[in-house]
Amino acid sequence: MIKEIYMKTISLFSGAGGFDIASFMADIPVAFSIDIEEDCVETLKLNKDFKETNLICGNLADYTSDNIKKMSGIEDDESFIIIGGAPCQPFSKNGYWVTNNIRKGINDPRAKLVNEFLRVVTELSPDGFIFENVESLLHPTNKSIVDGFINIIEEEGYNYKVIKGNALNYGVAQKRKRLFIIGTKGSFISDEPEKTHGDPNNLLDSYLKPYVTAGEVISEFDTEELFEEEEVISGKYQDELKEVPPGMNYKALTEWAGHPNPKFVADKRFWNFLLKLHPEKPSWTITAQPGPWVGPFHWKSRRLRVPEIAALQSFPKNYRFYGSRRSIQKQIGNAVPPLMGKAMIQFLKESIEANFAGNQLVNQS
């Protein structure tokens, strides 16, 4: 008789819980979550999914891997995975980590938090892991970080997949490219996580559903009851924003677009300047710290409301956030879209389960 495998998750750099919610969606409960930002941890505490999760506000570097395992409550014979989206920014070197002889290649001063993720993975040896980051981590200037990461996990016995994904393909109403490095000590069930959505103009004979549009997920929040003071637009470019058609940016007001009285010069501004959503198209990437005239704005020429930006990231409708408007925008903008994360975790989970079942059959023969 084949026994089922039961897994739990340890979440590092949890933020507002986008990746954690993805784990719950994939039926893997999160046993432990840690983040250095107090507002993020308070957000997790507000949501019932985390009632059984040990939530820690602190610096991951201050916690030994053994302590993390103990606080998670995961027993030595239990299966578990580690997930996390470590920010890759210019940090100082983490000396104790880079001096270990198996950690060659991770000597880039920007890799401090990547090192912390690797430290916990290599010391706890989970059944699998998923590391999430921006796609630009694959840029040649970051080659030492990625090469070092792969070198370490291979030495630890992990097979891996590097997935360049777009949230659009997993049911998120948003163009958002992200990088995932997925590792397991067994084999993978396929080359990549299964996509569920595709370009509606190219779906002939396809099992994929059309991309989810912004209007589909946020139109219900356009009511007077959900008005937010922060959504009101005023100031230097308020009239210009109103003139931009849905789905366009400032370039609609240039000579390039045939505007009779050009207000701007094409390609002289950032592309998301006065950028406006179209209700029948997916959203552009939701940012963590947008400037006053940086979109995407609502097609009704206002800033997006909190439940709207959360929905565009595919957070559950009843998900609650703690903190100021600025803090909440940052939390949501930095999050892994839950539906995208679910696809990655489901892919890893099914691979681990297939390996577990295969090993049982071998042992029984």
Question: What is d(CA 43, CA 214) in angstroms, rounded to the nearest whole number?
Answer: 25
Question: Count of alpha carbons within 13 Å of 142, Cβ hemisphere only?
Answer: 16
Structure tokens at 160: 């891996």
198's enclosing H/E stretch is strand 197-198
DSSP alpha helices (H): ranges in 266-324?
Answer: 306-312
Is 88 among the residues known to form the active site?
A: yes
20's enclosing H/E stretch is helix 18-25
DSSP string, 92-148: ---HHHHTSGGGTT---GGGHHHHHHHHHHHHH--SEEEEEEEGGGGSGGGHHHHHH
- Of 88, 179, 241, 336, catalytic: 88
Closest CA to 185 of 358, 339, 25: 358
The strand pair at 79-84 and 7-12 is best described as parallel
**CB-based contact 90:109 (threshold 8 Å):** yes
Active-site residue list: 88
